[in-house]
Structures are given as C-alpha cells and as structure tokens.
Amino acid sequence: MATTDSAICVRSIDYSETSQVLVLLARDNGLVRLLAKGSKRAKSKSGGAVDYFAEGRCVFTGTHKQGLGTLMEFVETVTHTPLRDDLERLNVGLYMLELCLNLLGEGDPHPEVFDLLHNALARLEQSDALPSAVLAYFQWRLARRVGLLGDMDRCVSCGQRAEEGVYFSSSAGGLLCRNCQGAAKEKRAVSPAALLGLAALAAAEAGQRPKLPAPAAQAVNALLAYHIQYQLAKPLKMVEFALTGGRKS
C-alpha cells in the first residue's frame, strides 16, 4: 500500500549509476529510508534525482520494519536554491539535516520537527537572517522537542536562578550553580554571552521577540552542539563547519 506525505530530503546517496538511496523526513511518518530506482535517469518515474534540502510531496511503499522502502514519486515544491549559493548558510543547513538524521528515530513521526525544519530552512535562505541566530533557535527547539533539554534558567541541583559563574553539565541535564558544580566531573563554564542567548531563546519560546546578537547566538550554538554530541556519544560531521561560519577550524 502506497503512502503519500510531505517530506524533506535529509540524506541522498548514489546507489548505482541510475538509482539513489534517500532518507526523507516525512511529516506524518518520520524518517523513512527509500530506494529511488532510476531516479537519476532523464525520464524518471519518481520525478528525477533528489538532492539534499529537496522538499515536496512523496509517494512510497514499504516501512522501516520491512527494510528499505521504495520511492514511487517525488514532486519537488521547494528547492532552497539560495542555500547553495552561500557557504555559511549551506553548512548551517546541512548541520540541521544531520541533527534531524541523528536525533529522530526511523519511522517515529515528529510533525512538529518537520515544521521546525521547514521554517528554519525557509528563514535561513532569507538575506536578512543571521545564520547563527537561525541555528541557535533550531538547536534549542529541536533539543527540547526530542526531550534532550529542560528549562535552562536555574540550577538543576538546587533550583537557584542561573547567574554568572554557572556551569553546564550534559550528564546532569542542565545548569549547575557555583555551589553545586564542584561534584560534577563533566561540565563546562557558561559564558555571560551564552547566558544572554539562553534567556533570549527561552523568551522567544514564550512568544516574545527578543534580539539574539551574533556573539550570544554563537555562544549558545557551541553549548548546545556540545550537549547534543555528548548525548549522542559521537561527533557530528558538520558541526565545526556550521559553528565557524563555513570553514572548519
């Protein structure tokens, strides 16, 4: 039985001279791995080769429980072409795709994450958008939606309000004040810029429209990327490129 859904391509691998293996984030079906037979042929039944960021309506058969599914059709409606013309925006976008690929379970629907990615990519390609701020909002909201991040305004041990001099511990799941951080073996200092960024992100989630300047966005991005990689217990390929403005440090 064929399934129709909205989807964004988060990974594209050449399978043969004419076919691809795709990982799509489908709005109502989560991550799906599909064989796109003959997709690279000029007159492909599936609609042609599908690349990273391609967004549209897909029709597929099979599920993750049955192994690799089959893409029957992909009608692209959004190309996100502007992302490909700017190295910084391209690398931030690729990191967003990598985050979804690693933080979501195959076949586990997360329509709110699909909408988050859709909106973030659309905002990222706008010329007036600050890429680091777009990424900060995306990392924050994604981490919270998949249950990796709680409130970040107080110490997770004693409940004291977060002030300068606090630390962040991924294993503890949040901020630690001066008095509680001593016992934590895994921790990193939280800069004033990161605290400012965290407050701005929390305010934005509450419906306000705070400013997130570049230094605060960059500090928050480094902190959230550290937390996500610690939880995954592995490094992510695009993180350094995304955090350094397009060039690996």
> Mind giving me the DSSP string for 55-104?
EEEEEEE--GGGSSEEEEEEEEEE--GGGGG-HHHHHHHHHHHHHHHHHS
Instruction: Show which of 44, 79, 114 is a domain's final residue.
Output: 79
**Which SS3 state, helix, strand or coil, does residue 194 take?**
helix
Q: What pLDDT digit, counting tens, does each position of 168-205 carry?
A: 999 999 999 999 999 999 999 999 999 999 999 999 99
Residues 90 and 174 in one domain: yes
Considering its fold, how many domains does the chain have in total?
2
| Long-range pairs, 179-182, Cβ under 8 A, ≥24 | 180/155
Domain that holds residue 66: 3-79
Contact (Cβ atoms closer than 8 angstroms) between residue 95 and residue 138? no
Residues 125 and 9 in one domain: no
- What local confidence, expressed as pLDDT, does residue 66 receive? 62
Name the helix (H) or strand (E) containing 7.
strand 3-14
Res. 113: pLDDT tops 70: yes
Res. 88: pLDDT tops 60: yes
CA distance 41 to 56: 19
- What local confidence, expressed as pLDDT, does residue 64 receive? 58
Q: What integer is the mean pLDDT of 4-32?
A: 95
Higher pLDDT, 43 or 6: 6
- What local confidence, expressed as pLDDT, does residue 41 receive? 84
In a domain, 248, yes or no: no
Residues 137 and 39 in one domain: no
Q: What pLDDT digit, counting tens, does each position of 129-162 carry?
A: 999 999 999 999 999 999 999 999 999 999 999 8
Instruction: Show which of 79, 106, 124 is a domain's final residue.
Output: 79
Residues 75 and 170 in one domain: no
Q: What pLDDT digit, counting tens, does each position of 197-249 carry?
A: 999 999 999 999 999 999 999 999 999 999 999 999 999 999 999 999 765 55
Residues 162 and 202 in one domain: yes
Calculate Rg over the CA atoms of the chain.
20
Burial class (CB in 10 A: 0-12, 13-18, 19+), 82: middle
Quick one: what percent of the chain has pLDDT higher than 70?
95
Q: What pLDDT digit, counting tens, does each position of 25-68 carry?
A: 999 999 999 999 988 887 766 667 899 999 999 999 986 566 79
Query: In terms of DSSP bridges, do strands 174-176 and 167-169 run parallel, antiparallel, or are they unpaired?
Result: antiparallel
- What local confidence, expressed as pLDDT, does residue 134 receive? 98
Res. 89: pLDDT tops 70: yes
Residues 68 and 135 in one domain: no
In a domain, 249, yes or no: no
Distance of CA 199 to the CA centre of its chain: 20
CA distance 45 to 72: 7
Instruction: Show which of 79, 102, 134 is a domain's final residue.
Output: 79
Residues 72 and 118 in one domain: no
Res. 100: pLDDT tops 80: yes
Tokens of 223: 């902190």
CATH of the domain at 184: 1.20.1440.120
Residues 93 and 64 in one domain: no
Residues 172 and 216 in one domain: yes
Residues 102 and 208 in one domain: yes
- What local confidence, expressed as pLDDT, does residue 186 receive? 97
CA distance 36 to 202: 41
